[in-house]
Amino acid sequence: MTIATTNPATGETLKTFQPHSDQHLEQALDRAAKAFQTWRRTTFAERAARMQKAAALLEERKDSLARLITLEMGKLRKQGVAEIEKCANGCRYYAENAERHLADEVIATDAKRSLVKHQPVGAVLAVMPWNFPFWQVFRFAAPALMAGDVGLLKHASSVPQCALAIEEIFKNAGFPQGVFQTLLIGSDKVQKLIEDPRIVAATLTGSDGAGRSLGRAAGGQIKKTVLELGGSDPFVVLPSAKLEQAVKVAVAARIQNAGQSCIAAKRFIVHQQIAEEFEKRFVDAFKALKVGDPQDDATDVGPLASRQVLDDVDDQVRRSASKGARTACGGKRLEDRPGFFYAPTVLLNAENTAAFQEEVFGPVAAVTRAKDLDHAIALANDTQFGLGAAAFTNDSKEQERLADELEAGSVFINGMVKSDPRLPFGGIKASGYGRELSQVGIREFTNTKTVWIG
């Protein structure tokens, strides 16, 4: 297997890495197990001081780290800076709130005293994707380390320098040896790690296929998992919406990270009463997007992360067109430049096509029309996924129905779906289970222990 940095803007492989040996993995597991025995006994104040230092280091290094993200997976430089800043905010949130989130809960029972404790469990394996190479890791690591757990990171093989930089951040912030380690390994080593008794739990962000595989392995060992998998998020627009705002947010929600986001809006469901005007404005906005160098802050859409991602997106668009979707703009690779670029694409009448039924990881929007609110909700829920959902309406009754009836882990009304350290994040159906972030997320990898004193 290959662990390498390949620049998506040029297609050039810049640096390759030798995978860690079985001996290295054995040493890492041993370090993690030993570190946990000490780390679990540190105070929240001691952990928080280090986590605050990690936040400060992220902000000090945000420009160089953003360049690294751009180099390895093609994210726009300005979006990379925002990602690093979000990681710093996440670190600070848990440094300031972990003790409160995990405080003992006294419960009145027939006992003299009874309470619930939330205690760390051990070494957690994190299998992480390339699309948000820092944020995906920190949204696991910040709460887990603040809870007293230790982490082992198996990152995507295409972002090894990001993975090593994250380990360096924690090391430089003063976290003891073994509390957070990066493993440069392929997916073929994951099951062996899951089977090792020193790993007590695992979390994965990635495709539903990868989630099923890790879930099976962990289930066989009776080990806790949190899975954040794919999404095909609906974006519903109803007549009472402010159309200009809805279009602006719709474009941003689809092209963020060149469309390579689990919670990017992908299926646009528009009430027939306003569909024609929405489609016109939406297509015009897509045509105006600037595709180009991700280091240039004037660029709106950069390259896709790899040739495989580019091939997959092109295949999905072609299959959708063959089933009746109309290509209003884009619909092709950009062959006039090196790298893995795809034209921003809007597909109309896209219901019952690949673009509407599958997760498309690229700047491709699938649009269909709804007859009424009932039809819009039915279309939105007609998917195997259930990660996020957005809807634009200023009708309070419609807002209530959408909040109640959209089948997703998050529903955003009149706004773009996003993750926030203060709010639980995760999905249902094939989008996974468990939650990250907030009080809910930090408790996922703790032992909820009942204590009864008579």
1 confidence band (pLDDT: 50, 70, 90): confident
Q: Give the total number of structural domains in the chain.
A: 2
Q: What is the mean pLDDT of the chain?
A: 98
Q: Strand order of the sheet with strand 105-106? A: 105-106, 113-120, 446-453
H helix or E strand, kind and range, residue 432: strand 432-433
- Give the sign of the dihedral formed by CA 102, CA 202, CA 164, CA 77: negative
Annotation says 228 is catalytic: yes
> What pLDDT score does 394 carry?
98
97 and 214 inside one domain: yes
328 and 396 inside one domain: yes
The CA distance from 81 to 64, in Å, is: 9
Mean predicted confidence (pLDDT) in 371-379: 98
> What pLDDT score does 203 carry?
98
Burial 145-171 (b: 16+ CB within 10 A, else e): bbbbbbbbbbbbbbbbbbbbbbbebbb
42 and 159 inside one domain: yes
Q: Percent of the chain having pLDDT more than 90?
A: 99
The CA distance from 210 to 212, in Å, is: 5
Among residues 87, 91, 162, 262, the one annotated as catalytic is 262
Is there a domain that residue 419 lies in? Answer: no
416 confidence band (pLDDT: 50, 70, 90): very high
Is there a domain that residue 423 lies in? Answer: no
The CA distance from 431 to 49, in Å, is: 35
Q: What are the tens digits of pLDDT across the range 251-263?
A: 999 999 999 999 9
Q: What are the tens digits of pLDDT across the range 137-184?
A: 999 999 999 999 999 999 999 999 999 999 999 999 999 999 999 999
Annotation says 244 is catalytic: no
Is there a domain that residue 422 lies in? Answer: no
225 and 91 inside one domain: yes
Choose among 228, 247, 327: nearest CA to 285: 247
Is 80 exceeded by the pLDDT of residue 219?
A: yes
Is there a domain that residue 420 lies in? Answer: no
- Helix 243-255 crosses helix 275-287 at what angle (to 10 degrees)? 50
89 and 156 inside one domain: yes
> What pLDDT score does 124 carry?
99
Is there a domain that residue 421 lies in? Answer: no
194 confidence band (pLDDT: 50, 70, 90): very high
Helical ranges in 206-326 per DSSP H:
208-220, 243-255, 275-287, 307-322
CATH code: domain of residue 400: 3.40.309.10
300 and 210 inside one domain: no
> What pLDDT score does 95 carry?
98
The whole-model pTM stands at 0.98
183 and 290 inside one domain: no
239 and 192 inside one domain: no
3-class DSSP state of 172: helix
DSSP codes joined into one string, 65-124: HHHHHHHHH---HHHHHHHHHHHHHHHHHHHHHHHHHT--EE--SSSSEEEEEEEE--EE
Q: What are the tens digits of pLDDT across the range 400-413?
A: 999 999 999 999 99
In this structure, are residues 363 and 301 in contact, taking their beta carbons and an 8 Å threshold?
yes
Give residue 380's domain range: 233-413
